[in-house]
Amino acid sequence: MTVKIDIFTKNLELTDHLNDYVVKKVEKLEKFLDEVDECRVDLSHSKTARNANDRHVAQLTLRGKGLSCVQRSAPIAFFSHRCLLG
Q: Please compute, for residue 20, the number of CA atoms within 13 A of its CA located in the half-sphere on the CB side.
A: 8
Q: For position 65, which CATH number holds? A: 3.30.160.100
Tell me: the pLDDT tens digits for 44-82?
887 775 766 667 888 888 888 887 888 777 665 544 444
Number of domains in the chain: 1
Range of the domain at 42: 4-85
Per-residue pLDDT of 18-51, as tens digits, reads 999 999 988 888 888 888 889 999 998 877 757 6
Tell me the CA end-to-end span of the chain in Å, nearest whole number: 30
pTM strictly above 0.85: no
- Cβ neighbours of residue 6 closer than 8 Å, sequence gap 6 or more: 38, 39, 40, 41
